[in-house]
């Protein structure tokens, strides 16, 4: 799957975003080593700490289905147009580091990055 195709999958995921408080839609598409794709969107809650980001939604969906090997994740977001880069938050980067290697490709509208590049000093036990 190309980066553009994965970004389109993330855009489809953003259509399901529940963002009635921030009005900031986010979609993620997680490419698994076997070629399958899990989509996730942000799901807000009036108690903001209970909000779940799109990236974690996609990862948790995959893990809950027994998938543990990932190649890339594409992320889009915005309060209207989804063309500006939407970088993952620290919590999402930390969850990625739990399940992915530092070479995980993180695909944004401004290009491709790696987990090592975006979060070089991760918490590990």
Spatial distance between the Cα atoms of 116 and 38, rounded to a whole number of angstroms:
22
Q: Is 48 annotated as ligand-binding?
A: yes
If you compute the radius of gyration of the chain from its CA atoms, what whole number of angstroms results? 13
Q: Is 47 annotated as ligand-binding?
A: yes
Neighbours of 56 (CB within 10 A): 21
Q: Which of 5, 9, 15, 55 is catalytic?
A: 55
Q: Is 73 annotated as ligand-binding?
A: no
Q: Cβ distance 104 to 96 under 8 Å?
A: yes
Q: Is 45 annotated as ligand-binding?
A: yes
Q: Is 3 annotated as ligand-binding?
A: no
Phi, psi of 69 (to 5 degrees): -120, 120
User: Is 9 noted as a catalytic residue in this protein?
Assistant: no
- Distances in Å between the Cα of 94 and the Cα atoms of 3, 49, 55, 88 are 22, 16, 11, 10
Q: Is 100 annotated as ligand-binding?
A: no
- Tokens at 124, concatenated: 């590990």
Q: Is 89 annotated as ligand-binding?
A: yes
Q: Tell me the binding residues.
A: 42-48, 53, 89, 92
Q: Tell me the binding residues for substrate.
A: 42-48
Q: Tell me the binding residues for Zn(2+).
A: 53, 89, 92
Active-site amino acid positions? 55
């Amino acid at each position: 799957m190309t980066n553009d195709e994965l970004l389109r999958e993330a855009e489809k995921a953003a259509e399901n975003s529940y963002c009635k408080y921030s009005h900031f839609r986010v979609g993620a598409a997680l490419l698994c080593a076997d070629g399958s794709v899990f989509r996730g969107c942000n799901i807000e809650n009036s108690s903001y700490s209970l909000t779940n980001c799109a990236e974690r939604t996609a990862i948790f969906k995959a893990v809950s289905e027994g998938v543990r090997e990932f190649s890339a994740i594409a992320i889009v977001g915005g309060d209207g147009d989804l063309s500006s880069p939407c970088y993952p938050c620290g919590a999402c980067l930390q969850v990625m580091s739990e399940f992915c290697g530092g070479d995980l490709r993180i695909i944004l509208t401004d290009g491709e990055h790696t987990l090592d590049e975006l979060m070089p000093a991760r918490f590990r036990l």
